[in-house]
Amino acid sequence: MILSYVATGILFAFGILMSVKYRQLQERTSREKESVSQKLHDSDEILQKLGTCFFLIDKNFVVQKTNYYTLNRLPEDKSIKRVGDLLHCKNAVEAGGCGMHEHCKLCGIRAKISCTFEDGKDFSRFEASMKLLSADRQQILPCDVYVSGTCLNIDGGFRVLLTINDISELKNVERLLLLEKENVLSCDKLKASFIENMSHEVRTPLNAIVGFSSLLATASDKEEKDMYIDIINQNNDRLLKLINDILDLSQIDSGTLNFQYSDFDVNDLLRELYELFKFRLKEKPDITLLCDAGLDPIMIRTERQRVMQVLINLLTNAMKFTQQGEIRFGCQLKEDNEIYFFVTDTGSGIPEDERDKIFNRFIKLDREIPGTGLGLTLSQTIVEKLGGRIGVESQQGIGSTFWFAVPLGAYD
Protein backbone atom coordinates (compact mmCIF):
# COMPACT_ATOMS: atom_id res chain seq x y z
CA MET A 1 0.00 0.00 0.00
CA ILE A 2 2.80 2.37 0.96
CA LEU A 3 4.63 1.53 -2.27
CA SER A 4 1.49 2.40 -4.23
CA TYR A 5 1.31 5.83 -2.63
CA VAL A 6 4.99 6.41 -3.25
CA ALA A 7 4.65 5.43 -6.91
CA THR A 8 1.65 7.71 -7.33
CA GLY A 9 3.54 10.62 -5.73
CA ILE A 10 6.52 10.07 -7.98
CA LEU A 11 4.31 10.00 -11.08
CA PHE A 12 2.48 13.14 -9.93
CA ALA A 13 5.75 14.95 -9.30
CA PHE A 14 7.09 13.79 -12.68
CA GLY A 15 3.91 15.06 -14.35
CA ILE A 16 4.28 18.45 -12.68
CA LEU A 17 7.95 18.57 -13.71
CA MET A 18 7.09 17.66 -17.31
CA SER A 19 4.34 20.27 -17.35
CA VAL A 20 6.77 22.93 -16.16
CA LYS A 21 9.37 21.83 -18.71
CA TYR A 22 6.73 21.84 -21.47
CA ARG A 23 5.64 25.37 -20.54
CA GLN A 24 9.28 26.47 -20.46
CA LEU A 25 9.86 24.85 -23.87
CA GLN A 26 6.74 26.56 -25.24
CA GLU A 27 7.87 29.91 -23.92
CA ARG A 28 11.39 29.45 -25.33
CA THR A 29 9.99 28.31 -28.70
CA SER A 30 7.65 31.28 -28.75
CA ARG A 31 10.52 33.64 -27.95
CA GLU A 32 12.67 32.05 -30.66
CA LYS A 33 9.80 32.31 -33.14
CA GLU A 34 9.35 35.95 -32.26
CA SER A 35 13.09 36.50 -32.62
CA VAL A 36 13.19 34.73 -35.98
CA SER A 37 10.07 36.58 -37.08
CA GLN A 38 11.62 39.90 -36.03
CA LYS A 39 14.84 39.07 -37.84
CA LEU A 40 12.89 38.11 -40.96
CA HIS A 41 10.90 41.32 -40.65
CA ASP A 42 14.10 43.34 -40.22
CA SER A 43 15.76 41.64 -43.19
CA ASP A 44 12.63 42.19 -45.28
CA GLU A 45 12.59 45.83 -44.21
CA ILE A 46 16.24 46.22 -45.25
CA LEU A 47 15.67 44.47 -48.58
CA GLN A 48 12.54 46.48 -49.30
CA LYS A 49 14.39 49.73 -48.65
CA LEU A 50 17.34 48.89 -50.85
CA GLY A 51 17.57 51.10 -53.92
CA THR A 52 18.46 47.96 -55.87
CA CYS A 53 15.66 45.84 -57.25
CA PHE A 54 16.01 42.15 -56.29
CA PHE A 55 14.18 39.00 -57.33
CA LEU A 56 14.45 35.57 -55.73
CA ILE A 57 13.58 33.13 -58.51
CA ASP A 58 13.29 29.37 -58.88
CA LYS A 59 14.36 27.12 -61.74
CA ASN A 60 11.17 27.95 -63.63
CA PHE A 61 12.13 31.63 -63.47
CA VAL A 62 9.13 32.30 -61.21
CA VAL A 63 9.65 35.17 -58.77
CA GLN A 64 9.21 33.97 -55.18
CA LYS A 65 10.24 37.16 -53.43
CA THR A 66 10.95 40.70 -54.59
CA ASN A 67 11.07 44.31 -53.47
CA TYR A 68 9.80 45.46 -56.87
CA TYR A 69 6.36 46.43 -55.57
CA THR A 70 7.75 48.43 -52.64
CA LEU A 71 10.28 50.30 -54.79
CA ASN A 72 7.59 51.23 -57.28
CA ARG A 73 4.90 51.84 -54.62
CA LEU A 74 2.56 49.29 -56.14
CA PRO A 75 0.17 46.86 -54.44
CA GLU A 76 1.67 43.38 -54.34
CA ASP A 77 0.37 40.95 -56.96
CA LYS A 78 0.21 37.39 -55.61
CA SER A 79 -0.17 35.76 -59.03
CA ILE A 80 2.71 33.83 -60.58
CA LYS A 81 5.07 36.27 -62.24
CA ARG A 82 8.44 36.15 -63.92
CA VAL A 83 11.01 38.95 -64.05
CA GLY A 84 10.04 40.10 -67.56
CA ASP A 85 6.37 40.22 -66.53
CA LEU A 86 7.08 42.44 -63.54
CA LEU A 87 9.35 44.80 -65.47
CA HIS A 88 6.89 45.04 -68.40
CA CYS A 89 9.47 43.78 -70.86
CA LYS A 90 8.20 44.58 -74.36
CA ASN A 91 8.71 41.01 -75.58
CA ALA A 92 7.00 39.53 -72.51
CA VAL A 93 3.98 41.81 -72.85
CA GLU A 94 3.63 41.17 -76.58
CA ALA A 95 3.91 37.38 -76.21
CA GLY A 96 1.72 37.14 -73.10
CA GLY A 97 4.47 36.12 -70.70
CA CYS A 98 8.19 36.20 -69.94
CA GLY A 99 10.01 33.51 -71.92
CA MET A 100 7.27 33.04 -74.52
CA HIS A 101 8.52 35.43 -77.20
CA GLU A 102 10.87 34.13 -79.92
CA HIS A 103 13.37 36.84 -78.93
CA CYS A 104 13.46 35.50 -75.36
CA LYS A 105 15.87 32.82 -76.60
CA LEU A 106 18.33 35.64 -77.28
CA CYS A 107 17.86 37.30 -73.87
CA GLY A 108 21.28 37.64 -72.23
CA ILE A 109 19.82 37.90 -68.72
CA ARG A 110 17.85 34.68 -69.16
CA ALA A 111 20.98 32.91 -70.45
CA LYS A 112 23.04 34.04 -67.42
CA ILE A 113 20.38 32.81 -64.99
CA SER A 114 20.21 29.41 -66.74
CA CYS A 115 24.01 29.04 -66.50
CA THR A 116 23.91 29.89 -62.79
CA PHE A 117 21.33 27.17 -62.13
CA GLU A 118 23.41 24.69 -64.15
CA ASP A 119 26.88 25.30 -62.70
CA GLY A 120 26.10 27.11 -59.44
CA LYS A 121 28.49 29.95 -60.32
CA ASP A 122 27.52 33.49 -59.40
CA PHE A 123 27.79 36.38 -61.85
CA SER A 124 27.97 40.13 -61.33
CA ARG A 125 27.63 43.40 -63.22
CA PHE A 126 26.38 41.79 -66.41
CA GLU A 127 25.44 44.70 -68.66
CA ALA A 128 22.25 44.41 -70.68
CA SER A 129 19.86 46.62 -72.61
CA MET A 130 16.12 46.15 -72.28
CA LYS A 131 13.04 47.59 -73.93
CA LEU A 132 10.29 48.18 -71.36
CA LEU A 133 6.74 49.37 -71.89
CA SER A 134 5.28 52.29 -69.97
CA ALA A 135 2.38 51.66 -67.58
CA ASP A 136 -0.14 52.62 -70.30
CA ARG A 137 1.79 50.46 -72.81
CA GLN A 138 1.97 53.38 -75.24
CA GLN A 139 5.69 54.11 -74.99
CA ILE A 140 8.79 51.97 -75.39
CA LEU A 141 11.36 52.89 -72.74
CA PRO A 142 14.96 51.84 -73.49
CA CYS A 143 16.71 50.82 -70.29
CA ASP A 144 20.34 49.90 -69.56
CA VAL A 145 20.94 47.69 -66.52
CA TYR A 146 23.62 45.92 -64.50
CA VAL A 147 22.47 42.43 -63.46
CA SER A 148 24.06 40.24 -60.76
CA GLY A 149 23.03 36.73 -59.74
CA THR A 150 23.83 34.64 -56.64
CA CYS A 151 23.01 30.93 -56.38
CA LEU A 152 21.39 29.98 -53.03
CA ASN A 153 20.35 26.63 -51.52
CA ILE A 154 17.09 27.27 -49.69
CA ASP A 155 15.11 24.39 -48.12
CA GLY A 156 16.96 21.87 -50.25
CA GLY A 157 16.20 23.69 -53.49
CA PHE A 158 18.33 26.03 -55.56
CA ARG A 159 17.29 29.63 -56.04
CA VAL A 160 18.96 32.58 -57.76
CA LEU A 161 18.96 35.95 -56.05
CA LEU A 162 18.90 38.43 -58.93
CA THR A 163 19.72 42.11 -58.44
CA ILE A 164 19.07 44.67 -61.17
CA ASN A 165 20.48 48.21 -61.16
CA ASP A 166 19.18 50.79 -63.62
CA ILE A 167 22.24 52.46 -65.20
CA SER A 168 20.39 54.34 -67.95
CA GLU A 169 21.46 57.74 -66.65
CA LEU A 170 25.05 56.54 -66.31
CA LYS A 171 25.03 55.25 -69.90
CA ASN A 172 23.53 58.52 -71.15
CA VAL A 173 26.30 60.47 -69.42
CA GLU A 174 28.84 58.03 -70.87
CA ARG A 175 27.43 58.55 -74.37
CA LEU A 176 27.53 62.33 -73.94
CA LEU A 177 31.15 62.13 -72.77
CA LEU A 178 32.07 59.98 -75.78
CA LEU A 179 30.32 62.44 -78.08
CA GLU A 180 32.16 65.32 -76.43
CA LYS A 181 35.43 63.43 -76.81
CA GLU A 182 34.71 62.88 -80.52
CA ASN A 183 33.91 66.59 -80.89
CA VAL A 184 37.19 67.53 -79.21
CA LEU A 185 39.13 65.13 -81.46
CA SER A 186 37.28 66.50 -84.48
CA CYS A 187 38.16 70.06 -83.42
CA ASP A 188 41.81 69.04 -83.03
CA LYS A 189 41.80 67.55 -86.53
CA LEU A 190 40.14 70.67 -87.92
CA LYS A 191 42.69 72.82 -86.14
CA ALA A 192 45.58 70.78 -87.57
CA SER A 193 43.99 70.85 -91.02
CA PHE A 194 43.42 74.60 -90.72
CA ILE A 195 47.06 75.26 -89.79
CA GLU A 196 48.29 73.00 -92.60
CA ASN A 197 46.06 74.69 -95.18
CA MET A 198 46.66 78.23 -93.99
CA SER A 199 50.44 77.88 -93.81
CA HIS A 200 50.49 76.86 -97.47
CA GLU A 201 47.79 79.25 -98.67
CA VAL A 202 49.33 82.28 -96.93
CA ARG A 203 52.93 81.47 -97.84
CA THR A 204 52.26 81.01 -101.57
CA PRO A 205 50.84 84.48 -102.39
CA LEU A 206 53.17 86.20 -99.92
CA ASN A 207 56.21 84.61 -101.56
CA ALA A 208 54.90 85.70 -104.97
CA ILE A 209 54.24 89.27 -103.80
CA VAL A 210 57.66 89.59 -102.13
CA GLY A 211 59.53 87.86 -104.97
CA PHE A 212 57.96 89.75 -107.87
CA SER A 213 58.12 93.06 -105.97
CA SER A 214 61.91 92.60 -105.84
CA LEU A 215 61.98 91.78 -109.57
CA LEU A 216 59.76 94.78 -110.30
CA ALA A 217 62.21 97.09 -108.53
CA THR A 218 65.03 96.04 -110.86
CA ALA A 219 63.03 95.61 -114.09
CA SER A 220 63.58 98.15 -116.86
CA ASP A 221 61.33 96.80 -119.63
CA LYS A 222 57.72 98.12 -119.48
CA GLU A 223 56.19 94.86 -120.67
CA GLU A 224 58.15 92.97 -118.04
CA LYS A 225 57.04 95.43 -115.36
CA ASP A 226 53.38 95.10 -116.40
CA MET A 227 53.66 91.31 -116.15
CA TYR A 228 55.13 91.53 -112.64
CA ILE A 229 52.41 93.99 -111.58
CA ASP A 230 49.69 91.61 -112.86
CA ILE A 231 51.20 88.71 -110.91
CA ILE A 232 51.47 90.83 -107.75
CA ASN A 233 47.85 92.01 -108.13
CA GLN A 234 46.60 88.44 -108.64
CA ASN A 235 48.37 87.20 -105.53
CA ASN A 236 47.24 90.26 -103.61
CA ASP A 237 43.62 89.41 -104.52
CA ARG A 238 44.22 85.79 -103.53
CA LEU A 239 45.66 86.83 -100.15
CA LEU A 240 42.82 89.29 -99.56
CA LYS A 241 40.21 86.61 -100.28
CA LEU A 242 41.98 84.24 -97.90
CA ILE A 243 41.94 86.83 -95.11
CA ASN A 244 38.26 87.59 -95.75
CA ASP A 245 37.41 83.87 -95.63
CA ILE A 246 39.24 83.48 -92.32
CA LEU A 247 37.46 86.53 -90.87
CA ASP A 248 34.08 85.20 -92.06
CA LEU A 249 34.87 81.80 -90.56
CA SER A 250 35.72 83.47 -87.25
CA GLN A 251 32.43 85.40 -87.34
CA ILE A 252 30.50 82.21 -88.08
CA ASP A 253 32.07 80.44 -85.09
CA SER A 254 31.34 83.41 -82.81
CA GLY A 255 27.83 83.91 -84.22
CA THR A 256 28.53 87.49 -85.33
CA LEU A 257 28.29 87.13 -89.12
CA ASN A 258 26.34 90.26 -90.10
CA PHE A 259 23.80 90.78 -92.89
CA GLN A 260 22.58 94.06 -94.39
CA TYR A 261 19.35 93.56 -96.33
CA SER A 262 18.38 95.75 -99.28
CA ASP A 263 16.33 95.75 -102.49
CA PHE A 264 18.31 95.13 -105.66
CA ASP A 265 18.06 93.92 -109.26
CA VAL A 266 19.33 90.34 -109.62
CA ASN A 267 20.04 90.73 -113.35
CA ASP A 268 22.22 93.74 -112.61
CA LEU A 269 24.19 91.59 -110.12
CA LEU A 270 24.61 88.80 -112.69
CA ARG A 271 25.88 91.22 -115.34
CA GLU A 272 28.41 92.62 -112.86
CA LEU A 273 29.69 89.10 -112.15
CA TYR A 274 29.85 88.34 -115.87
CA GLU A 275 32.19 91.31 -116.48
CA LEU A 276 34.37 90.30 -113.51
CA PHE A 277 34.80 86.67 -114.56
CA LYS A 278 35.08 87.42 -118.27
CA PHE A 279 38.23 89.34 -117.33
CA ARG A 280 39.50 86.52 -115.11
CA LEU A 281 38.90 83.90 -117.81
CA LYS A 282 41.31 85.60 -120.22
CA GLU A 283 43.87 83.15 -118.86
CA LYS A 284 41.65 80.24 -119.99
CA PRO A 285 40.66 80.93 -123.62
CA ASP A 286 39.22 77.41 -124.04
CA ILE A 287 36.35 78.21 -121.64
CA THR A 288 33.21 80.07 -122.74
CA LEU A 289 31.42 82.07 -120.03
CA LEU A 290 27.62 82.30 -120.42
CA CYS A 291 25.33 84.43 -118.26
CA ASP A 292 21.55 83.95 -118.30
CA ALA A 293 20.74 87.52 -117.25
CA GLY A 294 17.56 89.05 -118.66
CA LEU A 295 16.94 92.65 -119.70
CA ASP A 296 13.98 93.21 -117.39
CA PRO A 297 14.80 93.88 -113.73
CA ILE A 298 14.11 91.16 -111.15
CA MET A 299 13.85 92.93 -107.81
CA ILE A 300 14.37 90.96 -104.60
CA ARG A 301 15.13 91.89 -101.00
CA THR A 302 18.02 90.06 -99.38
CA GLU A 303 21.73 90.54 -98.59
CA ARG A 304 23.27 91.55 -101.93
CA GLN A 305 26.93 91.25 -100.92
CA ARG A 306 26.44 87.79 -99.40
CA VAL A 307 24.57 86.51 -102.47
CA MET A 308 27.42 87.86 -104.61
CA GLN A 309 29.96 86.21 -102.28
CA VAL A 310 28.30 82.81 -102.74
CA LEU A 311 28.15 83.19 -106.52
CA ILE A 312 31.81 84.28 -106.63
CA ASN A 313 32.78 81.19 -104.62
CA LEU A 314 30.83 78.89 -106.96
CA LEU A 315 32.16 80.57 -110.12
CA THR A 316 35.73 80.48 -108.79
CA ASN A 317 35.42 76.74 -108.13
CA ALA A 318 33.99 76.22 -111.62
CA MET A 319 37.02 78.04 -113.08
CA LYS A 320 39.45 75.91 -111.06
CA PHE A 321 38.00 72.57 -112.15
CA THR A 322 37.16 73.39 -115.78
CA GLN A 323 39.88 73.33 -118.42
CA GLN A 324 37.70 73.62 -121.50
CA GLY A 325 34.04 73.85 -122.47
CA GLU A 326 31.72 76.32 -120.79
CA ILE A 327 30.64 77.81 -117.50
CA ARG A 328 27.04 79.01 -117.36
CA PHE A 329 25.37 80.84 -114.50
CA GLY A 330 22.07 82.58 -113.92
CA CYS A 331 18.85 82.53 -111.91
CA GLN A 332 15.23 81.41 -112.15
CA LEU A 333 12.13 82.50 -110.26
CA LYS A 334 10.35 79.65 -108.48
CA GLU A 335 6.63 79.36 -107.75
CA ASP A 336 7.26 78.86 -104.01
CA ASN A 337 8.44 82.48 -103.53
CA GLU A 338 12.10 81.57 -104.02
CA ILE A 339 14.80 82.63 -106.43
CA TYR A 340 17.07 79.87 -107.68
CA PHE A 341 20.71 80.58 -108.62
CA PHE A 342 22.92 78.11 -110.46
CA VAL A 343 26.48 77.69 -111.74
CA THR A 344 27.01 74.90 -114.28
CA ASP A 345 30.37 73.80 -115.65
CA THR A 346 31.81 71.14 -117.96
CA GLY A 347 34.66 70.39 -115.59
CA SER A 348 35.96 67.22 -114.00
CA GLY A 349 32.84 66.55 -111.91
CA ILE A 350 32.69 65.13 -108.38
CA PRO A 351 32.86 61.42 -107.44
CA GLU A 352 29.61 60.22 -105.89
CA ASP A 353 31.26 59.21 -102.60
CA GLU A 354 32.74 62.71 -102.20
CA ARG A 355 29.57 64.78 -102.70
CA ASP A 356 28.43 64.62 -99.08
CA LYS A 357 31.82 65.90 -97.85
CA ILE A 358 32.41 68.92 -100.05
CA PHE A 359 30.51 71.36 -97.81
CA ASN A 360 32.69 70.42 -94.81
CA ARG A 361 35.55 72.67 -93.73
CA PHE A 362 38.96 72.34 -95.38
CA ILE A 363 37.79 69.63 -97.80
CA LYS A 364 39.79 69.80 -101.03
CA LEU A 365 39.11 67.21 -103.71
CA ASP A 366 42.33 68.07 -105.51
CA ARG A 367 45.33 69.10 -103.40
CA GLU A 368 47.11 70.42 -106.48
CA ILE A 369 44.50 73.13 -107.03
CA PRO A 370 44.97 76.21 -104.80
CA GLY A 371 42.32 77.08 -102.24
CA THR A 372 41.56 76.91 -98.53
CA GLY A 373 38.65 74.46 -98.67
CA LEU A 374 36.47 77.08 -96.94
CA GLY A 375 34.49 78.51 -99.87
CA LEU A 376 31.68 75.96 -99.92
CA THR A 377 31.46 75.87 -96.12
CA LEU A 378 31.04 79.65 -96.01
CA SER A 379 28.57 79.53 -98.91
CA GLN A 380 26.41 76.94 -97.16
CA THR A 381 26.36 78.97 -93.92
CA ILE A 382 25.47 82.19 -95.75
CA VAL A 383 22.64 80.56 -97.73
CA GLU A 384 21.19 78.94 -94.60
CA LYS A 385 21.40 82.27 -92.73
CA LEU A 386 19.41 83.80 -95.60
CA GLY A 387 16.75 81.14 -95.05
CA GLY A 388 17.69 79.15 -98.13
CA ARG A 389 19.24 75.87 -99.18
CA ILE A 390 22.21 74.80 -101.27
CA GLY A 391 23.16 71.67 -103.18
CA VAL A 392 25.07 70.09 -106.02
CA GLU A 393 24.38 67.76 -108.94
CA SER A 394 27.40 66.24 -110.61
CA GLN A 395 28.66 63.51 -112.91
CA GLN A 396 32.31 62.62 -112.83
CA GLY A 397 34.00 63.50 -116.11
CA ILE A 398 30.99 65.47 -117.38
CA GLY A 399 30.55 68.43 -115.04
CA SER A 400 28.69 69.87 -112.08
CA THR A 401 25.83 72.20 -111.25
CA PHE A 402 26.01 74.01 -107.93
CA TRP A 403 22.78 75.74 -106.96
CA PHE A 404 21.20 77.63 -104.11
CA ALA A 405 17.76 79.07 -103.49
CA VAL A 406 16.81 81.93 -101.17
CA PRO A 407 13.46 83.60 -100.34
CA LEU A 408 12.46 86.57 -102.49
CA GLY A 409 11.76 88.68 -99.41
CA ALA A 410 14.07 89.53 -96.52
CA TYR A 411 14.58 86.66 -94.11
CA ASP A 412 15.55 88.87 -91.14
What are the residues facing 160 on neighbouring strands? Answer: 57, 151
pLDDT tens digits, 238-271:
788 778 877 887 787 777 778 889 999 999 999 9
φ, ψ for residue 52, nearest 5 deg: -85, 135
Is the same domain home to 283 and 389? yes
CATH number reported for the structural domain that contains residue 362 in this entry? 3.30.565.10
How many Cα atoms are found within 13 Å in the side-chain-facing hemisphere of 101?
17
pTM: 0.54
Q: How many domains does the chain have?
A: 3
| Angstrom distance (rounded) from CA 46 to CA 54 | 12
CATH number reported for the structural domain that contains residue 229 in this entry? 1.10.287.130
Quick check: is 14 in a domain?
no
Quick check: is 34 in a domain?
no
Could you tell me the residue range of the domain that residue 202 belongs to? 169-253
Is the same domain home to 265 and 179? no
Inter-residue contact 340 to 403 (CB < 8 Å): yes
Is the same domain home to 65 and 94? yes
Quick check: is 27 in a domain?
no
Look at residue 40 and tell me whether its pLDDT is greater than 60. Answer: no
Is the same domain home to 389 and 269? yes
Is the same domain home to 175 and 249? yes
pLDDT tens digits, 271-309:
999 998 988 888 888 999 999 888 788 899 999 999 999
Is the same domain home to 249 and 263? no
Closest by CA position to 237, among listed 204, 266, 214:
204
Is the same domain home to 173 and 161? no
CATH number reported for the structural domain that contains residue 123 in this entry? 3.30.450.20
Look at residue 221 and tell me whether its pLDDT is greater than 80. Answer: yes
